[in-house]
Chains A and B, each alone.
Chain A
């Protein structure tokens, strides 16, 4: 029979309800305290326990029972201090005495709504299943009848065009004798030749200064030393004026979103800008949290961030879900695209970014008729975010593969597939297959792809995964120092090392893209829409994407 005291604990949770259970080995632990000190969420703590020890001395068993006090590492069963599985404790443990283990039977989602506040987190959709992108394979291999190219020997041109391409019959070209001549007086929309994998929008603010600096140095090196024109997007919140006014701004896409954060500084810097930015991205939606605006929680609004964004420190910065001044795509969005174009004298491509949605084609068809729309970026449901409600991340949104395919085929019907580039984002490189995912999306019709979480994981070792590991980007407690404004945390990151990894990642992806394109026999132009090269082992996916079913 249980004691009455025992029943009093009936409303407490057991460790079995928690997503990660900390495995601690007493025999190895030296009680140095590093794990409990470093835990970002205080899920573990030192505790004192009374221990019963049975020992026997002498030649025959004579068990003696003694009790002693000992120090242990104890996991909290407070839902607000749940173990996030980040493994920072394992990282610092000198004796491999501790690691968190995923608990498949957890009931975390049942309880993480204390105080009537739904679970909020960072990261992306907690779906560890194999994504559609990872199911696609490249099945058109050039063999004998059509010699494959040599990835190591042939010249490859892995570049894409960001910006509006004129239809051939709109070109301001005339025939003079047996030559073609350009009429220089006619306006030609601006375009940029860039690398088809871009670093998508992540703001200074969402990212720590070291992380952002590392990425920025990495892409600058790729452009200036390696000759790979990789660009990255600022995200909402602007950029430091020193970079805005520098020649490096050409490697950056400036994002304007519904909170317009950072644009005071940008507008003020305009007269002093020596080069144009790569492009302007108008954010209307984000794949990870469709219908939600941007959110930078107060923990992260410090020093530089508050200065760039022009706001006080320690306030939640919530951007509205939509641009408050925008009431129609036909008029208001068109005006915004035109206004942004005008700000840079029509020399900079301006394009919108939307969440993956069933209505993407309606947006696309409107943009296709707008001669100033430079592209359409669609962010699928597997995109990441620094902060959002779990329900938005897990249950809202549209997969990118069929969304981009539908849009591309719509453009094909109109004959405009080369005029308005599509940029695909959301889950690219989710399982680490960056080049393969990028190539698959390109063959489905994308002109370029964006990465976010992938580069955080690959370049800075972000712990997050689809088992809800870590995912505390919203709290400013990132144990790697990637998504925090706390100097004690972000000093753990070395910007030089991140830059080095960014360079390595893109160089490796470039080789892998060649290894994909060469056997397909393509090298001169990006195989945009070359869907005959794709195959998939699931008939439904094959039918939906209009590609071949293979088995």
Chain B
């Protein structure tokens, strides 16, 4: 089992807070990797919010290829940030960990955000295609105000390795996953969190229904629905598909992955629509065991469980200040110690916990009461 640690806050926080929370949940992960995804960035990225950030790991050659490619596509580099790497025993250092901020190509300057998002995704996919065969480039995200860091190793050690304990990189939303390597070889593209066009998610658990879901997603005609080195990547894409592509409000994500029974749907005010939706999106239904934590482009953060097997998950914090979404209470105690514990939320089979942007408020959507 992996361990998940997400924080959404009205103030900028250090990703070390998430890592320390993961450290308290150490019994639940084997230190086989750490994935960090930061959104709504502070520090050096604070004034760059409208420019896309490309997060990647490259070899020397890969970096050259990347620069040439980006230039050829008309992207103009505005800034490069790299973590100050500290050699740690047991972590094999790769040549370049980079976050490059670009300005859009001239022809896209005034384009609609949806058009820009397609450009960014297609560029990321093209880079992945170039760098994947010889592993010279791993490109995790390319989107404004989002930064991704991943490496194999114990989360605390990886945090130190990236120098995050002394870094000025901060964010208002941080997803962190401490990896428990199960089905798949330790491969960076298999590490959570996963990202597509402003949506990032990480998952705890194994996805039994992976193959039919993957096949359904791959048939949607979206080039971004690819990769799938992890069975959890589909959760990011289901979210993207239901929320962005189909335009359904965020809480319907729960209805897509764990649809209600027909007799339960009949009691809902949107029951007629849901019955149809359930049939058409039937292949996206999961059986768990999964706990999914993620964010959307507007800065909402959520936690959701499958309807049967459930993975541990708890949400707690203070509205307007900070919320933690963790696998375990000890992680929450580490990240948000001064909260009212009596208001902690343990989402169950029908629930989806959604925290509004800037940690403004927390809302529990219950599928039975929509």
Contact = CB atoms under 8 A, between A and B. Distances in A.
Nearest to B257: A524
A347 to B, nearest CB: 16
A118 interface: no
A522 B216 CA distance: 17
Contacts of A417: 215-216, 219, 283
B283 A149 contact: no
A413 interface: yes
Given A179-B370, A415-B220, A523-B308, A146 B215 contact: no
Contacts of B281: 168
Interface in B262-291: 262, 269-270, 272-274, 276-277, 279-283, 285-289
Nearest to B255: A180
B252 interface: yes
Interface in B1-18: 1
Interface in B314-339: none
Given A154-B308, A175-B247, A529-B212, A522 B287 contact: yes
A514 to B, nearest CB: 13
B247 A523 contact: no
Nearest to A154: B308
B277 A527 contact: no
Interface residues of B, number: 49
Given A166-B276, A529-B215, A521 B285 contact: no
Contact of A418 (B1, B216, B307): B216
Contacts of A64: none
A94 to B, nearest CB: 56
Nearest to A411: B219
A181 interface: yes
Interface string B244-262: 0111110110000011011
B154 interface: no
A520 interface: yes
Contacts of B216: 415, 417-418
A168 B308 contact: no
A515 interface: no
A181 B209 CA distance: 28
Contact of B208 (A142, A166, A167, A528): A142
26 contacts: A145-B182, A147-B289, A161-B282, A165-B279, A166-B276, A168-B246, A168-B277, A171-B273, A171-B277, A171-B280, A173-B277, A175-B248, A179-B249, A179-B370, A184-B272, A188-B276, A414-B219, A415-B218, A415-B221, A417-B215, A417-B283, A525-B282, A525-B287, A529-B283, A530-B211, A531-B211
Interface string A490-534: 000000000000000000000000000000111111011111100
A440 B62 CA distance: 45
Given A415-B216, A417-B216, A168 B309 contact: no
Given A165-B282, A416-B219, A527-B212, A178 B246 contact: no
A146 B208 contact: yes
Given A178-B249, A179-B269, A180-B248, A520 B280 contact: no
A169 interface: yes
Given A166-B280, A168-B246, A171-B277, A415 B219 contact: yes
B299 interface: no
Interface residues of A, number: 46
A265 to B, nearest CB: 33
Nearest to B256: A168
A391 interface: no
Interface string A272-305: 0000000000000000000000000000000000
B212 A528 contact: yes
Interface in A301-316: none
Contacts of A175: 247-249
Q: Which of A142, A178, A416 has the most CB of B within 10 A?
A: A178
A168 B242 CA distance: 9
A418 B282 contact: yes
A413 B252 CA distance: 27
Interface string B200-230: 0000011011111001101111000000000
A521 B280 contact: no
Nearest to A191: B279
Contacts of B221: 415
A29 B205 CA distance: 69
B342 interface: no
Contacts, number: 124
B51 to A, nearest CB: 31
Q: Which of B1, B270, B280 has the most CB of A within 10 A?
A: B280
Interface in A175-225: 175, 178-182, 184, 188, 191, 193
B343 interface: no
B183 A173 contact: no
Q: Which of A184, A416, A524, A528 has the most CB of B within 10 A?
A: A524
Interface string A530-546: 11100000000000000
Contacts of A267: none
A180 B183 CA distance: 37
A524 B215 contact: no
Contacts of B274: 180
Nearest to B290: A146
A191 B183 CA distance: 38
Contacts of A521: 208, 287-288, 309
Given A171-B277, A415-B220, A522 B208 contact: yes
Contacts of B215: 412, 417, 529
B156 to A, nearest CB: 24
A145 B183 contact: yes
A413 B21 CA distance: 43
A157 interface: yes
B276 A527 contact: no
Given A146-B208, A188-B276, A523-B308, 9 more contacts: A145-B182, A180-B277, A182-B270, A191-B279, A521-B208, A528-B212, A529-B215, A529-B283, A532-B211
A365 to B, nearest CB: 14
Given A165-B282, A412-B219, A530 B212 contact: yes
Nearest to A414: B219
Contacts of A525: 209, 282-283, 285, 287
A147 B205 CA distance: 10
Contact of B287 (A161, A170, A524): A524
A488 B223 CA distance: 67
